[in-house]
Chains A and B, each alone.
Chain A
Amino acid sequence: MARFLARRLVYYVALVFIATSLTYFLASATLNPRSVYADRNPRPSSEIVDAKLSSIGVNDKDPLGERYVHWLGGAVTGDLGQTIQDKPVAAEFGPRLGVSLRLLLVGSILGIVLAVVVGTWNAIRQYAFSDRVSSVLSFVLISTPVFLTAVLLKIGATKLNDVLGYQLITFTGEATPNLTGGLATIAWDRIAHLLLPTISIGVGLIAVYSRYQRATMLDVLQADYIRTARAKGLRRRPAIFKHGLRTALIPMTTLFAFAFLGVLTGATFTEKIFAWNGLGAWFIDAVQANDINVVVTYTLYSAVVVLLAGFVSDVLNAVLDPRVRAQK
């Protein structure tokens, strides 16, 4: 099994490398960092602009291959280059990573766990009232893109706050600026800010993956080995949870990797709409600001995170499924 996982890891590293390099060339071809400096008022001389762009490593007059090799050399040693404003990318990356991961991890783990719970519950009680209601609900939620969910949540919270006359739900930014108080106050403030963004990311996940969980669970419940377990005298509950749920989760592990990819894209919207200074929002701003190094850094981060999720799902798959473990 270790060999299997090691081989996957090598493949993943190769994919990250290709994806990041492709983005580098793509971004260099489409973004125009020159406009950031050349259009300033008073207009700087072209020598000054060239020197500035070259020092950042995004001068379109330098050969692309040279710029790429220089960037790659830095990236391998952890130097992600300079932003278009000539500040180190890495310095801003750290804090933003914390913000993004808080949102992503809480949202996706909560979403996936609830999806499994809801899906299993609905499968066990197929066609019960709760099953029908969640089926309709998930269809509606599946059809609502993240940006709309986020905007609707924001509207709802605004209305609620208006009706109540005070700020019950806070939804701008990831923390109240200049908040003073003890650890408990700060922790509570963070949690309050996390509420709506997490919901906007999580509900989509629950809607989609509870449908899958329900379907795999229904397949499993019809399986012979569940009948055998029941026939040998096992009660319904242990038969379903010990024998059924575990098997039903195996195909789900693969889906979870994909789920995370969706969450990552969704998070760009959530971060922008709720004014979180995370990496997703940074990426959107960087595209609009012609900031090549930041765009590439985001791709690197997104590829690594997706593949880590893939790796975790490989491991989970191997843990749940002995056939995978037995593979050479």
Chain B
Amino acid sequence: MTRFTPDLLEGPSDAVVPESREEVAATSPNRLVLTFRRLFANRGATVGLVTIVLLFVFAFVGPLVSPYAYNYIDYTALSSPPSGAHWFGTNNIGQDVFAQTARGLQKSLLIGLLVALFSTVIAGMLGAMAGYFGGWIDRAVMVFVDLLLVLPSFLIIAILSPRLKQYGWLILVALLALFGWMITARVVRSLTLSIKEREFIRAARYMGIGHFTIIVRHILPNVASFLVIDATIAIGAAVLTESGLSYFGFGVQPPDVSLGTLIAQNQSAATTKPWLFFFAAGALIVFALASNLLGDGLRDALDPTSTAGRTGRRRRTRGRTAESRGGAAPLGRTGGVSEAASPAPGADVGSPAPTRTNDEKGERA
């Protein structure tokens, strides 16, 4: 959480951009405090955040405290159940399951984080450009978006995988990011369409500020809250996509491990030697769940129409009308749930905010 600068949290899409730096300085600490207060008032988000932190500790500190390396083979302990020597037991060739799970989680988390970061950057830039410039840039981006929806990233990466095996996991990150930005870009585009009509954008134009500066300095900060929420959920989604690809052998390649390869490798042993399967499977579900909960909580916390946290009371104690606003959030402005939701590689099947659908229909045809 600390990586969010106040600046990023400053502008939910409906907020008026402050006119001067002094004003930013005066308002943002309060806004940040408010955001955090709301976030921690949300039980789900708190649980999600704490869980993510714990999983990161497990993934990155675990290998340091584990007496075995993930690829070390202990011939004295084959298929042994969890014990003092091997905390999560060993697999049938004597590898330590604790070390393997930590290593697999580490790889999955790294891939998830990087993919979420890159795909959000691409989505923000292309979506904002499409919305801001309109014309042929818009049409080109939208055709591209439609095309990649028809040709799912899962298919493309699967087809490319025979050539990727030699390049390692960073190329997988690049591909997942390259094919994972479409839905977000569509939402950013439609948000931009309304933002660019606002007075402060016109004022900036009349002051002679260049188009790209306007996009970076004035439009993107105003969709930042959506992007932050979306990126949070995208981490979980990317982890699910990666594990799905690795499950088929299209993703992370042996001898390296990820949660997907561990699950694929050990699924047949699930009934007889449950420790081989359930630690990896559990880590995957728990992480995706935590990232969804945090994303959902962030959505409430960053929603400018939300009244949560202002009075220090929980939302649930409030009247029906105020509640339903928060309750409707999964769809509302952002519609992020299904980003995360999409079963594994379907992660690019996402969440077009329904409000856009009608006006978009005609022009895209």
Residues on A close to B: CB < 8 A? 4, 7-8, 11, 15-16, 18-19, 22-23, 26-27, 29-32, 126-127, 139-140, 142-149, 151-152, 155, 158-159, 162, 204, 207-209, 211-212, 214-216, 218-219, 221-222, 250-252, 254-255, 258-259, 261-266, 268-269, 272, 283-284, 287-288, 290, 295, 298-299, 302-303, 306-307, 314, 317, 321, 323-324, 327
Contact = CB atoms under 8 A, between A and B. Distances in A.
A303 B151 contact: yes
B285 A32 contact: no
Given A15-B150, A27-B159, A142-B341, A215 B248 contact: no
B346 A261 contact: yes
Contact of A212 (B156, B296, B337, B365): B337
B236 interface: yes
Contacts of B362: 4, 327
A211 B330 contact: yes
Interface string B317-340: 000110110011111100101101
Contact of A18 (B147, B343, B354): B147
A272 B248 contact: yes
Given A30-B160, A212-B331, A143 B354 contact: no
Interface string B288-309: 1101110010000000000000
Given A19-B150, A145-B284, A317-B361, 5 more contacts: A8-B365, A142-B288, A162-B271, A219-B331, A287-B250
20 contacts: A22-B151, A23-B156, A29-B163, A142-B337, A143-B236, A145-B240, A145-B344, A146-B346, A147-B247, A148-B263, A207-B341, A254-B354, A255-B352, A258-B338, A265-B346, A283-B158, A295-B159, A306-B149, A307-B150, A317-B361
Given A7-B365, A258-B350, A142 B292 contact: yes
Interface size class of B (residues with CB under 8 A): 35 or more
A261 B250 CA distance: 20
B314 to A, nearest CB: 12
Contacts of B146: 15
B162 A31 contact: yes
B247 A215 contact: no
Contacts of A211: 330, 337-338, 341
B343 A219 contact: no
Q: Is the interface of A mostly helix, strand, loop or mixed?
A: helix
Contacts of A155: 270-271
Nearest to B274: A155
A143 B285 contact: yes
A262 B330 contact: no
B161 interface: yes
Given A212-B330, A216-B354, A143 B340 contact: yes
B295 to A, nearest CB: 11
Given A19-B150, A258-B352, A295-B159, A204 B343 contact: yes
Contacts of B162: 30-32, 287, 290
B354 A148 contact: no
Task: Name, among B155, B327, B330, B358, the residue most crowded by chain A CB atoms within 10 Å (CB to CB).
Answer: B155
Nearest to A295: B159
A295 B329 CA distance: 40
B20 interface: no
A288 B249 CA distance: 9
B152 A302 contact: yes
A204 B331 contact: no
A93 B320 CA distance: 54
A266 B346 contact: yes
Contacts of B236: 143
A287 B161 contact: yes
B349 A303 contact: no
A30 B163 contact: yes
B30 interface: no
A252 B324 CA distance: 19
B305 to A, nearest CB: 13
Nearest to B146: A15
Given A219-B328, A258-B352, A306-B149, A144 B323 contact: no
Contact of B344 (A30, A269, A327): A269
Contact of A4 (B244, B345, B365): B365
A251 B248 contact: no
Top 8 nearest A-B pairs (CB, nearest first) are A251-B354, A262-B346, A143-B288, A215-B331, A145-B344, A146-B343, A143-B289, A208-B341
